Amino acid sequence: MILIPDVKRKNVGVFGLGVSGIATCEALVASGARVYSFDENREARDKTSDTEYRCEHPKNWPWKEMDFLVVSPGVPLTHPKPHTIVRKARMENVPVIGDTELFARALNKLDKRARPRIVGVTGSNGKSTTTALIGHILKQAGEDVYVGGNIGEAVLSLPAFASDAIYVLELSSFQLDLTETLRLDAAVFLNLSPDHIERHGDVAGYLRSKKRIFTNQTKEDLAVIGVDDDYAQSVCTELMARDAAEVLPVSSGSALGRGVYALDGKFYCNLDGKTLLAGDLENARSLRGPHNWQNAAAAIAVCEKFGVPPALAVKSAQRFEGLSHRLEDVGRNGKVLYINDSKATNADATARALAAFDNIFWIAGGKPKEGGVESLKPMMDRVHSVYLIGEAAAQFEEQLRGSVHCVLCGDLEKAVAAASADALKSDKANPVVLLSPACASYDQFKSFVERGDKFRDLVADLSSTNGEAA
């Protein structure tokens, strides 16, 4: 647990009692704060009944004596409008922060010699894989590494700071909006595609939030930036002009005069004026496709800063097992390969999955996002048929009409059955049934995790029925 300095006997509000909220309450109480907590979900409130931070409605909090408020990253700050709790805090002049800011404040109180090294990773897509991959490579190299934030453990649940440790944090735009003083030894910005517009107002607002990952960096620090999309490329140009930190571009499709890049799965590094081949990930099952090669390039760049030679980093990446719901190989049924990419909740993420395979029987749909799948039409030459589910089914069928054969299935179970039957009887070599929804999950599922787990179970049932090992 990370203890928070300078909060003893202070009054602190915590709104939102998910994993990070509970961890925040526990850390604050252990640090001597008086904690006032609340969650709009009754079940979450009930879990605090026997704790020192038992829930009490915010109308009963001592607002005039409140020192600050910690809110869950999901609480709207500005768009579509500030949450009631945020408006109340601002009215009472109470600062609103997140748990990552508490992590930063604890970090900033350390003597320089006691400070661990901190890595942060953000981007519209790939940040979980990149965060986990950096942690994997550094552990393989013998480092004491802790991974958390928006992936795995909440930041305040991570072990107490140790000077020789490395903390690798996945940071969403929501978390970055609530963080002011975090300084990262290595900050990674992978890419940006229009997403979460309802939260940020527009793409410019979303980009501003992502760029906060570089706030407070110095010339001693490393800024790693993907340059495969126009938004991130503009950030790279801006940071190079600012000259506040060392900037290192990464790419999965273009040769770079300086940086780390991949061409057809082969990785090249130019860090000191000489380009060297670091290795090959073309056949790494857990890092399929150009988007994962960009993730790996970023991981290689970060790990090199901490003393891991690029060639060794590539060898470690070859042993990376990947993450659930991200181009996850969940089994075979005869000649058909099944890939669970439930984490692909927007069209840009799905484009990356479609680029990784041929002969695709694609399952898509759910709660649609702005733009739908119009941008994916040029990729339909890789797709045999599309099996549509959820609220987006009719919209997606209209957008894709004339480009690919569409089947309106309604739910995931029917889609898996139909896609499997068609893939098995097709004459395509190595057909792939790909769940990559390009949609949020919450029309039919509680989360992308539940959706992906359901897909995995359906594949296991098919494999069992047909006598194949999943």
Contact 191, 124 (CB under 8 A): yes
Which positions ≥6 away from 30 have C-beta within 8 Å?
1, 3
Q: What is the Cα–Cα distance from 209 to 353, expressed in whole angstroms?
A: 26
127 carries a ligand binding annotation: yes
Contact 344, 350 (CB under 8 A): yes
Q: What is the Cα–Cα distance from 427 to 275, expressed in whole angstroms?
A: 43
420 carries a ligand binding annotation: no
Q: What is the Cα–Cα distance from 362 to 385, expressed in whole angstroms?
A: 6
47 carries a ligand binding annotation: no
Bridge pairing between strands 96-97 and 66-71: parallel
Q: What is the DSSP string of 107-175?
A: HHTS-GGGPPEEEEEE-SSSHHHHHHHHHHHHHHTT-EEEEEESSSB-GGGSPPP-TTEEEEEE--HHH
Q: What is the Cα–Cα distance from 450 to 430, expressed in whole angstroms?
A: 27
Which positions ≥6 away from 95 have C-beta within 8 Å?
67, 68, 69, 89
Angle between helices 289-305 and 310-318 (to 10 degrees): 130
Bridge pairing between strands 383-389 and 360-365: parallel
What sign does the dihedral 280-282-284-286 (CA atoms) show? Answer: positive
Where residue 441 falls (left for φ over 0; alpha for ψ -120 to 50; beta otherwise) is: alpha
| Sequence ranges of the binding site | 123-129
| Sequence ranges of the binding site for ATP | 123-129
